[in-house]
Structure 1
Amino acid sequence: MFSDAFSRDHQLIQADPKHSLYLACALLVRGNVQVSDLRRNIERLKPSLHFVSWNQEGWKTGLCSVPPVGHSHSLLALANNTCIKPTFIELKDKFMKLYKKKAHLHHYLHIEGMEQSCFSEAISSLSDLIEEYNELDATKDGPRTDPSRLKIVV
């Protein structure tokens, strides 16, 4: 179950996190799973997962003894990994193609009451996030990034 959570076959997006950097990872387990099993599997997985140098212990865990309906146990892994960068780049490119044509803007500007500056701010935030992931990937085998330089974009 723990190995499957980190395999490409069980992901929601097509990316390869094995060759990228993890910033953090959360494991949410339900069912008949002991804390010792959870810790042992994290220790087993650690060598194969590359975390940023300033967050080597970037794991959060949640354990609920109530199993999901129809199953004895389940595991949800949520990870922040730089492998998401190509997805963000593709999203930005598709957005820019539509935005340049002003496609669908009228739905948001007139009906929803948004300002056009909201779109500029959103694309700027996405560009900043892509650049931060680029910097992290560049430090994968070289000098390490100071965590105080990174912005958290929510």
Structure 2
Amino acid sequence: MSDELCRAAARGEIDKVLELLQNGADVNGFNQYKRTALQVVNWACPDVVEALLSAGAEFNIRDPVLRLTPLHDAARAGYIGSVQKLVLYGADVNLCDEIGNLPLHLAAMEGNLEVIRLLIGRTHGRTADPRARSAEGCTAGQLAHLHQKIEAAKYIEDYLRSSE
């Protein structure tokens, strides 16, 4: 049933996901590729993300290849609704992937401004540190500059100036 749940999550099929969960599908079960439903979910469907999270999906589980968490994937993809759900349920904004990137670093490289705002501007809970360096020694602002995401870089710089 795990493969079926993963397929439904990847397609964003909320009704099918709910049906499978109600019928006993293991929300943290692995599909044939050793991924859970939350690791393969369609990030454009925050309702599916929330259904998985409310059913107890492990939100800090790591991908077996690059050690990415679901928050890394959602932040990189720029789906603010899914990022909000993950953060609300307690996903750790300060976990690094295999090469030392925070979700914030990946969002900055892609220029996902809404995600950047959310990750560094939280008023409750832990906030992503915009001064943190990746394994290559770059901050989120520097990564945004390197990837020519000027608006994201400017926002991070302005945020740092205002927080001094």
Length-normalised TM-score, structure 2: 0.19
Structure having the higher Rg = 1
Q: Which has the higher strand share?
A: 1
